[in-house]
Amino acid sequence: MSGRLKDRIAIVAGAGAMGTGMSNGRAAALVYAREGAKVLAVDRDSAAAAETQRLIRAEGGTCEAFVGDLTDSSAAREMVEFSLSSLGRTIDILHNNIGILKAGGPVDLAEEDWDKILTVNLKSFFLAVKFVVPVMERQKRGVITNIGSIAGLRYSGLPFLAYATAKGAIPTFTRSIALQYGASGIRSNCIHPGIIDTPMLRMTADAGYAKAFGNVDAATLQAKREATIPLGRFGTPFDVANAAAFLASDDANYITGIELVVDGGFIARAG
């Protein structure tokens, strides 16, 4: 790769994955490292964070792992302190990728699931920004990239009400940061992934997409879903990660407050 992020320090919140799969967060951590950044891989699952660290180090990159639940302010504060002590005295990139989901509409979704999904998917972003921004302000520079979803832009075909609501809030969260802190040299942008081939995608298939497409088998389901995408395929986590690396680089140094949709044209067709 080009080394666009050489010697920069990137915190990737939600850098693990289910099992040994490739998630959007893990791919982002790998791409940042391949572009020369020193990466802090953050996840509440110690094994998942360690696997991301292992993959980066196996490629000769620099990565430390931090285990913590970023819905807790003390963990978010400790994450920043650990990054500053272990990787260097700057934080150049914050990549907010944490997210969970569960199927359900307003009637059948349990109240505790609504609370949990909004807390995990929004409070974790808020607390990470809360403790990273003062560091970026002192530096007079920094990039914050928040991962939304096309589910926050249009109905997915199945009721994921809490997830869609949380993701629908990410653009406003992102723009507010961009406008408040632009004069401090901090850029803030949002990426909306489309249908990306990740472990979470397979979870949504189990949640009811197969039934929605006529109780089909996995291969038929994939073919039917890919047929809804103008480019004719699911995205990969690296499609999202490469977009994030661009936004974090100096190639994008006049870009802030935007929503970048990485979906193979799905929203364009649906709109």
Mean pLDDT of 175-200: 94
Mean of all residue pLDDT scores within the chain:
92
Mean pLDDT of 103-121: 96
254 is catalytic: no
Mean pLDDT of 247-253: 98
pLDDT interval class at 130 (50, 70, 90): very high
CATH 3.50.50.60 corresponds to the domain 9-198+238-256:
no
pLDDT interval class at 204 (50, 70, 90): low
The pTM assigned to this predicted structure is 0.93
* pLDDT score of 214: 58
* pLDDT score of 157: 79
pLDDT interval class at 198 (50, 70, 90): confident
* pLDDT score of 211: 57
* pLDDT score of 185: 98
30-56: per-residue pLDDT in tens?
999 999 999 999 999 999 999 999 999
Could you state, in order of their start, the residue ranges of all structural domains in the chain?
A: 9-198+238-256
Catalytic residue, candidates 163, 181, 209, 254:
163
pLDDT at 73 over 70: yes
* pLDDT score of 221: 73
Which of 127-131, 151-155, 177-181, 241-245 bottoms out in mean pLDDT, i.e. has the lowest?
A: 151-155
Q: What is the secondary structure of the chain as a DSSP string? A: ---TTTT-EEEEET---STT---HHHHHHHHHHHTT-EEEEEESSHHHHHHHHHHHHHTT-EEEEEE--TTSHHHHHHHHHHHHHHT-S---EEEE-------B-TTTS-HHHHHHHHIIIIIHHHHHHHHHHHHHHHHT-EEEEEE--GGGTS--SS-BHHHHHHHHHHHHHHHHHHHHHGGGTEEEEEEEE-SB-SHHHHHHIIIIIHHHTTS--HHHHHHHHHTTSTTSS-B-HHHHHHHHHHHHSGGGTT--S-EEEESTTHHHHH-
